[in-house]
Structures are given as structure tokens and as C-alpha cells.
Amino acid sequence: MTTQKTQPWWKFGHVWLVISGPLVVVVAGFFTLYLAVRTPDPLVTEDYYRKGIEINRTLGADRPATGSLAPAIAARNHAATGVVAEKPAAAVKP
């Protein structure tokens, strides 16, 4: 009968494979915590609602009034021809 030499646990490769997964997650968690503390989220301005209303008005002014609310089936794709379609009869007016 042969006797085997016992080795310490840290000399087995599969032990390090099992330990490395959770260890990487813990290190990544601390790195994420560091980033969260170092760069906090910016505060929302007090007049955010008024600025949002102004942006919506600006976007609404840029849109052409004719056919902007037309259903997709009634609208025409102008990418191929470049011709603006006539206003559909059943278009919804804002």
C-alpha cells in the first residue's frame, strides 16, 4: 500500500477557482461603492418643470402643423420622393 503526501489546501488549483469567483464580486462591489461615493448624482434644478415645458414648446414649434398627427396608414413616407403629401381629410387637429 502506498501512502500519499498530503498537501496544504492552498496548493490545489480548484480551490482557487472556487474562491476567485466570490472574491472578484466583492472587489467589484467595493469599487462600485468607491465610484458612487466619489461621483454623486447631480441635483435636479428647482425649475425643471418650467424648462421641460419650454422644451416641449420648442419641439412643437419645429414640427410642421399639416399631417403631424395623421395616422401612419394615411401618412406618406417622404424619404424616397421628397414630395410633401397633401393634408389627409381625416387628420386630427390639435
* Domain range annotation of the chain: 12-86
pLDDT for the residue 23: 97
Q: What's the confidence (pLDDT) of residue 59? A: 79
What is the Cα 6 distance to its own chain's centre?
A: 53
Residue showing cell 415645458: 53
Do the beta carbons of residue 67 and residue 91 sit within 8 Å? yes
Under DSSP, the state recorded for 9 is G
CB 63 within 8 A of CB 76: no
Residue-wise pLDDT for 21-40, tens only, equals: 999 999 999 999 999 999 98
DSSP secondary structure letters along 50-83 = HHHHHHHHHHHHHS-STTTT--TTTS---TTT-P
